[in-house]
Amino acid sequence: MSKKIIQSNKVPAPIGPYSQAVIANGFLFASGQVAFNPATGELVLSDIQSETRQVMENIKAILEEASINFNHVVKTSIFLSDMQLFAQVNEVYASYFTADFPARETVAVKTLPRNVNVEISITALMEL
């Protein structure tokens, strides 16, 4: 097995000992993304829609660095600070997919890094 590390300068650098994404055996595994704006280095926490949009834009940048897009995503995991945010997060999330939606789970957790409200990780195919 070989693996390739994906590192985009359009996404904030990891805040721990992990990679933004890893390609292995035809899959891309992206670490959970939170709403860090890579241009400012600040978290986007003004409202849940803006926060989710920044998370999805960070995922988009990782996909683009790997030369793929949201059509390649086969699985997502969404972590929320509160299930009351589900509908608003889902609305923004859905706008990034057109059809053949990926498998997904959404769970509420006690806390997330930096006290954000949403974190999303993805698994994608490198070839369709």
pLDDT exceeds 80 at position 1? no
Q: What local confidence, expressed as pLDDT, does residue 14 receive?
A: 85
CATH assignment of the domain containing 35: 3.30.1330.40
Q: How many CB atoms lie within 10 A of CB 90?
A: 14
pLDDT of amino acid 13: 85
Question: What mean pLDDT do residues 61-71 have?
Answer: 97
pLDDT given for residue 58 in this prediction: 97
Q: Quick one: pLDDT at residue 55?
A: 98
Tens-digit pLDDT profile for residues 93-105: 999 998 899 999 9
Answer whether residue 65 shows pLDDT above 90.
yes
pTM (predicted TM-score): 0.96
45 alpha carbon, distance to own chain's centre: 16
Q: By residue range, what is the domain housing residue 104?
A: 3-125
Give the per-residue pLDDT at 95. 97
Q: Is the dihedral of CA 109, 114, 118, 122 positive or negative?
A: negative
Report which of 74, 57, 72 is spatially closest to residue 10, judged by C-alpha positions. Answer: 57
pLDDT of residue 2: 85
How many residues comprise the chain?
Answer: 128
Closest CA to 109 of 81, 69, 77, 70: 81
Give mean pLDDT, residues 70-86: 98
pLDDT digits (tens, 9 = 90+) for 8-23: 999 988 878 999 999 9
Give CA–CA dist 96/3, Å, rounded: 27
- For the chain, what is the domain count? 1
